[in-house]
Amino acid sequence: MSRVRLMPRLDVKGKNLIKGIHLEGLRVIGDPQSHARRYYEEGADELLYVDVVASLYGRNSLHDIVRDTARDVFVPLTVAGGLRSIDDVREVLRAGADKVGINTAATKRPELIREVARRFGSQCMVLSIEAKRIGPGRWEAYTDNGREPTGLDVIAWAQQAVELGAGEILLTSIDKEGTREGFDTALVAAVTDAVPVPVIASGGMGNVEDLIDVVKNGHADAVAMADVLHYNRLTLAQIRESAIEAKLNVRAS
């Protein structure tokens, strides 16, 4: 099994780091760049920036934040939110991103996945899926920060995206996001078992046991975490130490 990556997730609205529950009820946490630097210094494997209102306003406003972060942070940066074209992707990569997460625009025009993968490489093209459970073993993909249903089955959509060239899946459970109740491990397992590319589990981490569960039983390749770090309930060092004790294949500190 490949090494499991620990990825702080920074949801941004305007110039503020925010956090919500079920992708709603957003609370301001502070300055995203200072948090990004702290997480890098604590040993994050990668960082994930998400502009949570970008699709609503039709543009990504993270360029300056990403550019400033890239000067101080030397781990891969994935940037998501409001990216609708090759030009949008090029701009955010020039600002310092290593990978881009695309959701809304890809559901409206799946060929964009192929275009990004061909131009910048499949390793750059991360399909972002916001998933909501609609029945036993069934999830629907949503867009616009969990507001708009697409009618797309999550498993089928993930498989189609990989066929088009997506090199990674960012999988966020709307039902679990911000609840501290643990990941939707069944969702993560269903997607990881259906596609041959890495899957990042996001939404619901409340403690280290949740991470261990989603890696061992959901087969997640990476774990995105926000609340548990933003509110200083755990440090990355503590999470990494516990993961190593559980014999997960994570990078030693």
72-84 tens-digit pLDDT: 899 999 999 889 9
Q: Is residue 128 part of a domain?
A: yes
Flag whether pLDDT at 226 surpasses 60: yes
Instruction: Say if CB 49 and CB 87 are below 8 A apart.
Output: no
153 is catalytic: no
Average pLDDT over residues 35-62: 82
Asked whether the predicted pLDDT for residue 26 surpasses 80, the reply is: no
Residue 225 lies in a domain: yes
The one catalytic residue among 11, 51, 88, 184: 11
Contact 146, 105 (CB under 8 A): no
In a domain, 251, yes or no: no
**CB crowding 143-180: b at 16 or more within 10 Å, else e:** bbbbeeebebbbbebbbbbbebbbbbbbbbbbbbbbee
Confidence band for 60, pLDDT divided at 50, 70 and 90 = low
Tell me whether residue 158 is in a domain: yes
Q: Given a cut of 60, is residue 114 above it in pLDDT?
A: yes
- Determine what percent of the chain is predicted with pLDDT higher than 90: 77
Overall domain count for the chain = 1
Read off the CATH number of the domain in which 53 is found.
Answer: 3.20.20.70
Is the residue at 253 inside a domain?
no
Establish if 250 belongs to a structural domain.
no
252 found inside a domain: no
Distance, in Å, from the CA atom of 85 to the CA atom of 123, rounded to the nearest integer, reads: 17
161: which 2 tokens?
């995206």
Taking only the tens place, the pLDDT of each residue in 165-195 is: 999 999 999 999 989 999 999 999 999 999 9
Domain with 236 in it: 5-245
What rounded mean pLDDT belongs to the chain? 92
- pTM (predicted TM-score): 0.94
Q: Specify if 106 maps to a domain.
A: yes
Considering the candidates 45, 51, 130, 213, report the single residue annotated as catalytic.
Answer: 130
Query: What's residue 15's pLDDT?
Result: 80
Residue 148 annotated among the catalytic residues of the structure:
no
- Give the length of the chain: 253
Cα-flanking dihedrals φ and ψ of residue 121, to 5°?
A: 100, 145
